[in-house]
Amino acid sequence: MAQRDLRRGSWWQTLPGMLTAAAAFITAGTGLIIALNQAGVFKPSDTRASGGGAAQANPPLTPDVLSSSGPRTPGTLAGHESPATAGATVTIPTGSAVNLLAPDHGGQLLLAPNELWSVTNDGKEDDYQSLKVGDEAVFAFKDERRATFDRFRIFIPGKGRNPKDLDLEASDDSSAGPFHLIATFHPQNVRMVRTGGWQDFDFPPVTAKYVKVRLRSNYEDVIWLQLYELQIIGSLQ
């Protein structure tokens, strides 16, 4: 009776049944591993972000911007000021030769028949105003300090109703004078191509606080003339 019951045991307890069950278990396990791997459970972590000498996972937020002059401050585009330097005051070292009439260097128009004279030191070569022959204007240097200068420049873009004769005077006392004549200049009624339209006049060095420009005549028989940019080259004391 016992032998008969053994023969009637469950099918999977027999050798063929056990082999079949093991094969089914292996197949199911392999399928599970493949599914988990596709889900990323067994994917190795990316160590590039922390590995020594490896590329960073995220690029820097403000990379260096290159210009023709080399690296620039991070985040500053070529031709643009950074917020920290925009509108900064220009400091002129004592003894440096600059255009003393330029507002950026402290030059200022003090006395004139009208505001039209401001065109003469605004730094814009294309701008001009029609001014009267005989008019004059007084300029001061930075903080009305003394300066030594030895060159006068006038911009004449081409033939036209340009100044023919003009005086440059200086005063070391006040904007009201007295003024003494430095020189009378005679610009040519042409464009100086080599200098980009600028005509230069040199004279022995003069030290003063104020200068006066007087328009004496022009190249046409009318009372009006066209005046562009003026410059006085020298250094502050």
Asked whether residue 79 is assigned to any structural domain, the reply reads no
Asked whether residue 178 is assigned to any structural domain, the reply reads yes
**Residues 107, 173 within the same domain:** yes
Helix (H) / strand (E) containing 235: strand 230-236
**Residues 104, 194 within the same domain:** yes
Alpha carbon distance 224, 128 (integer Å): 12
User: Among 11-15, 72-76, 142-146, where is mean pLDDT lowest?
Assistant: 72-76
pLDDT at position 143, please? 95
Kindly tell me the number of DSSP H helices and DSSP E strands found in the chain: 2, 13
Asked whether residue 123 is assigned to any structural domain, the reply reads yes
> Residue 29's pLDDT band (boundaries 50, 70, 90)?
low
* 19 token code pair: 């082999």
> Residue 19's pLDDT band (boundaries 50, 70, 90)?
low
3-state SS, residue 183: strand
The CATH number covering residue 160 comes to 2.60.120.260
**Residues 115, 203 within the same domain:** yes
**Residues 135, 227 within the same domain:** yes
- Report how many domains make up the chain: 2
Asked whether residue 227 is assigned to any structural domain, the reply reads yes
Instruction: Please provide the average confidence, as pLDDT, over all residues in the chain.
Output: 75
**Residues 105, 188 within the same domain:** yes
Q: 38, 53, 68 — which closes off a domain?
A: 53
60 has a pLDDT exceeding 60: no
**Residues 222, 108 within the same domain:** yes
**Residues 40, 156 within the same domain:** no
Asked whether residue 215 is assigned to any structural domain, the reply reads yes
Does residue 178 have a cis peptide bond before it, meaning omega lies within 30 degrees of 0? yes
3-state SS, residue 6: helix
38 has a pLDDT exceeding 70: no
**Residues 43, 143 within the same domain:** no
**Residues 104, 20 within the same domain:** no
> Residue 145's pLDDT band (boundaries 50, 70, 90)?
very high
pTM: 0.60
pLDDT at position 48, please? 41
Q: 20, 37, 53 — which closes off a domain?
A: 53
User: Among 46-60, 67-81, 114-128, where is mean pLDDT lowest?
Assistant: 67-81
pLDDT at position 68, please? 28
**Who wins on pLDDT, 65 or 91?**
91
Cβ pair 199, 178 in contact under 8 A? no
pLDDT at position 95, please? 59
180 has a pLDDT exceeding 50: yes
**Residues 109, 174 within the same domain:** yes
| pLDDT digits 0-9 by tens, 203-230 | 999 999 999 999 999 998 889 999 999 9
Asked whether residue 91 is assigned to any structural domain, the reply reads no
| pLDDT digits 0-9 by tens, 39-49 | 555 544 444 43
Burial (0-12, 13-18, 19+ Cβ within 10 Å), 185: buried
**Residues 217, 109 within the same domain:** yes
**Residues 117, 196 within the same domain:** yes
Asked whether residue 65 is assigned to any structural domain, the reply reads no
Asked whether residue 66 is assigned to any structural domain, the reply reads no
**DSSP 8-state assignment for residue 38:** H
| pLDDT digits 0-9 by tens, 90-136 | 344 555 789 999 999 999 999 999 999 999 999 999 999 999 999 99
Domain of residue 35: give its range.
11-53
Q: How many angstroms separate the most distant Cα atoms in the chain?
A: 148
pLDDT at position 183, please? 97
